[in-house]
Structures are given as structure tokens and as C-alpha cells.
């Protein structure tokens, strides 16, 4: 067996032992099941439901940008300051 395959098996084995892989799979499966159930049980037609989902995503993404904008700006400034001191 090649060294890369052995390394991959070791990593996968460690992930299984830690339960991380199971957690990720369970979270993904739960999210997919919830999304499917929500769409199937939605009171509106498909087109209306999709429109409402898109509106909600736009609203939430705008709110996230407003909240995260100042933080991202500060992080960018700090990174620029560090680059300036490293070059000196």
C-alpha cells in the first residue's frame, strides 16, 4: 500500500474515532431533511416559496454585511498595518 493511502486511512480513522465525520454527516443529513420537509409542507406554491426564500436570503445577507462590514474593515486595516511593519 502506498504511503499516501496509509496517511489517508490514518486521517479517516482518526476522524471516525473523534466522531467528527459522523457529526458532519448527521448535520448535513438533518439540514437536507429539514429543507425537503419545509418545501414539501410549505403553504404556498413552489414559485411563491422560492421567491420568499430568495427575499429572506437577500435580507439576511444584507444584515450580515452591515454587521460584519466594520469588523472586516478593521481586520483589513490590521493586516495592512502588519504588512507595513514587516516590510520596514
Residue 11 confidence (pLDDT) above 70: no
Per residue in 23-66, pLDDT (tens digit) is 888 888 999 898 888 877 877 787 888 888 889 888 888 888 88
- pLDDT at position 15: 60
Q: Are 52 and 44 in contact (CB under 8 A)?
A: yes
Q: Residue 49: CB partners within 8 Å, gap ≥ 6?
A: 39, 42
The 10 Å Cβ neighbour count of residue 41 is 7
Q: What is the pTM of this model?
A: 0.35
Give the mean pLDDT of the chain: 77
Amino acid at each position: 500500500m502506498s504511503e499516501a493511502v496509509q496517511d489517508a486511512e490514518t486521517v479517516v480513522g482518526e476522524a471516525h474515532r473523534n466522531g467528527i465525520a459522523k457529526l458532519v454527516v448527521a448535520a448535513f443529513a438533518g439540514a437536507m431533511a429539514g429543507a425537503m420537509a419545509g418545501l414539501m409542507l410549505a403553504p404556498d406554491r413552489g414559485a411563491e416559496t422560492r421567491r420568499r426564500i430568495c427575499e429572506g436570503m437577500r435580507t439576511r445577507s444584507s444584515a450580515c454585511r452591515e454587521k460584519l462590514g466594520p469588523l472586516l474593515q478593521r481586520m483589513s486595516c490590521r493586516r495592512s498595518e502588519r504588512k507595513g511593519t514587516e516590510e520596514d
